Chain A
Amino acid sequence: RKEVEQDPGPFNVPEGATVAFNCTYSNSASQSFFWYRQDCRKEPKLLMSVYSSGNEDGRFTAQLNRASQYISLLIRDSKLSDSATYLCVVNNVDSSYKLIFGSGTRLLVRP
């Protein structure tokens, strides 16, 4: 079983739609959580960190559920430019030097 699991998608949504991605992690010692975005044939870039109380950055909202060990990312009012792969990333307290990356969820926003 992978340590960080994501639905690979693709999620195909129209512009303006709201879309949500979930990610589950298996290590209860996980302490830090992030969403990275990767455009086609480009490097990953940090989208947002995920805080215990949940956090919002414009149209993006991240939530953490420690009891169920999952993280979510909600994108409201989708734009064409949101089309990308979204990577769920976890840092464990017992191996804090390394970040564990999920395989990513692909999002396609159509006109």
Chain B
Amino acid sequence: NAGVTQTPKFRVLKTGQSMTLLCAQDMNHEYMYWYRQDPGMGLRLIHYSVGEGTTAKGEVPDGYNVSRLKKQNFLLGLESAAPSQTSVYFCASRKRQGHKDEQFFGPGTRLTVL
């Protein structure tokens, strides 16, 4: 199993450009999440999905859109990138089974917006 994978690993954008971050998981998990992590801020939830075809806003959704057309994929879009979106982006999927509850994270995407 590859677990959770993210594409790309690194990206540099100019202000106003758009891009899509791809997250894929092969564990058949229902729940998926997009976070951003900034120094001293910890992980902040951008959007999440509780199943195929459903998405919901997290703590910091402005400037981002998401789609979950297939269960295994969760896409994060930036329509018009801003320097404030420079961050490390982590995708995660979550397994909840009885007392077990664990999030599995991808390796992250380091995004710089100039």
Contacts and interface: CB of A to CB of B under 8 A. Distances in A.
Interface of A: 8, 32, 34, 36, 42-46, 49, 87, 91, 97-99, 101-104
7 contacts: A34-B101, A43-B90, A44-B103, A97-B31, A98-B48, A102-B42, A103-B42
Contact of B40 (A8, A42, A98, A99): A8
Nearest to A36: B103
Contacts, number: 42
Contact of B101 (A32, A102, A104): A32
Contacts of B40: 8, 103
Nearest to B102: A46
Contacts of B99: 49
Contacts of A98: 33, 45, 48, 58
Nearest to B101: A32
Given A97-B48, A97-B50, A98-B48, A43 B105 contact: yes
B107 interface: yes
Contacts of A49: 99-101
A101 B44 CA distance: 8
B43 interface: yes
Contacts of A97: 31, 48, 50, 56
A73 B102 CA distance: 18
A102 B42 CA distance: 6
Nearest to B110: A41
A44 B105 contact: yes
